[in-house]
Chain A
Amino acid sequence: MGQKKYLVVAFAIFFGFLFSGCSNFVKKEDTRALHTDHTISFQKNKHFIIPDNAKEQLGFIPDTATSFKVDSKLKKKWMIDNESVDVVSLKPGMKQFTFDFIIDSLKDRNRHFRLFIFHNQKFIEFSINHKKYMYYDIQMEGNGSLKIPIDVPVLNNYKFSEYLPILIDKDQKQLFTNNIPVTKVLVSKSNNNDFSKISSHIKLDDDQKTFKKENSKSNEFGLPSVILLNEDFKPLKIEEVSSVRYVRIDQVPQKIVEEIMFFDMEGNIYGVKGKQPLSYMLEQPRNQDFIIPVPKKMISSRKERFFLLINNNPGEESFIHLNDIKRRKSKFFLNFANVYEIR
């Protein structure tokens, strides 16, 4: 009997350990389930873009950094001067793909953003956690990195396109003089990285013929300079933004296709002459500024925040430009998009 008792106790201990192990296993599985590819994750004190010890190293607190990441199976690198441009390379038949949008904040306070996805000349519906959104409001703790897996549809038959995650800071209105940089996610359906035989399908808007043009005062490569003008075409100071009637866009000193779009916090798109469901596709001549009237509906609106998107080299133009850079046909990399808060 004594030996049996010992055996029972031994079995009890064994099963106890086994059960305990199973519990841990289940727990781990649960934890892992929370970090699947389709789950938003925030990592406190982890900085995917800016290093953790930035304050010691930098002596400052930068505002925000953003980036994107795709599954390595979908990622191709295009190398220029030992630096890489990531291209999402879609497999045949894919109707959607996922990319992680990453926001890295070193500020201690909570952050609030609104995220739009711009594609094919308009804001598109996208999915997060299997729910569909036209825009997604983000509440983010301070001091950490937020990874948001975003499912986006593949909407057109073009071999080369792009998706722009546009992030608006809900806590902080920007001065029109400050650009808000936007990441461009380049997407290719081509099997290879040969961008040498791409023909652009972009149709320029006839409206651009009616936009006033003036010789540019600046002759430097750089960000598009946005100057707000009053009804007499005089530049406005930052305090005078409510008098805005025109936007003067000073571009890089080379002919470039650019996409511009006026929009508000709800994702409504505004046209210069009324209803405008899509962005404008323009070709800015070398050394000439566009002077574009601000949509009247924006001027008369009581809404507080309005924006202007300027997207250099939209769609396949980005890929054509990559090829031009590689072949030294273009000197500078100009595949950038920016948003300006114009009211």
Chain B
Amino acid sequence: MKSLRFGIGVILSTSLLYASSAEVFAKENKDDVSKLWEKAALYGNEVDLRAVVEDGKVTTQGSTTISTVGTGSTYIYASEASLTSGVKAITPQGYPVSEVKAVGKTTSKVTLSTHGVTTTLMLNGTSIGSNKDSGVGKSTDTATVYHYPNSVSSGWEYRATSHHTLSTSTNTFVADTGDSMKF
């Protein structure tokens, strides 16, 4: 999937059009999304949420061993539209992309834990939507946000962020990850 992600990005990077957002929001809300848009490009794709483990128990200090307690990641994937789906091949107006999805994951390796991931997908500075997933104990949360553009124009940029949280009985961890894809 990751190779497809890069492949489509390179193939479609010579398009002509740039679509700008025409939606109007309240100022403070727009500012929030703008900040999120900027941050998405700064975040790395993957995180590890780490704690110190003492004698096999999750604690804060006095480590004898360091252990990973969880991980988090965000990736954007795009799927090319098939020619049979009614979308034509590359034209000056756009490129055939049937689906863009952002996937955020948080994994916990601690039994006494609760954890979650909230993923937000944005297009050209406007949010498309958010989704969240959470769980307890040793498990993985997956939040996916879909967009079905059919075609995209050159200059369009998708960005996604994920907010990962993991709480153990004594510690809390917060991390943000992000990814972007420009056509």
Binding site for B on A (CB under 8 A): 48-51, 54, 57-69, 77, 79-86, 102, 173-175, 177-184, 220-223, 225, 237-242, 252, 304, 332-336, 338
Contacts and interface: CB of A to CB of B under 8 A. Distances in A.
B149 interface: no
B170 interface: yes
Interface stretch (B56-64, B76-84, B151-159): B56-64
B46 to A, nearest CB: 6
Given A179-B116, A333-B169, A60 B61 contact: no
A240 B115 CA distance: 26
Contacts of A183: 167, 170-172
Contacts of B180: none
Q: Which 5 A-B pairs have the closest CB atoms?
A: A222-B134, A223-B134, A181-B172, A62-B175, A178-B163
Contacts of A241: 29, 32
A63 B112 CA distance: 22
Interface string B13-41: 00000000001011011101101100000
Nearest to B122: A238
A177 B60 contact: no
Contact of B44 (A59, A65, A239, A334): A59
Given A57-B48, A83-B110, A222-B141, 15 more contacts: A48-B52, A49-B52, A58-B46, A66-B172, A67-B172, A102-B60, A173-B32, A175-B32, A177-B118, A183-B171, A183-B172, A237-B127, A238-B29, A239-B30, A242-B26
A49 B53 CA distance: 10
Contact of A62 (B49, B118, B120, B133): B49
Contact of A239 (B33, B47, B49, B177): B33
B114 A65 contact: no
A175 B36 contact: yes
A61 B50 CA distance: 11
Given A180-B174, A222-B114, A333-B112, A239 B25 contact: yes
B42 to A, nearest CB: 9
B182 interface: no
B173 interface: yes
5 contacts: A179-B116, A222-B133, A222-B135, A239-B30, A240-B25
Contacts of A174: 163
B179 interface: no
Contacts of A175: 32, 36, 118, 120, 130, 163
B129 interface: yes
Given A238-B32, A239-B33, A333 B137 contact: yes
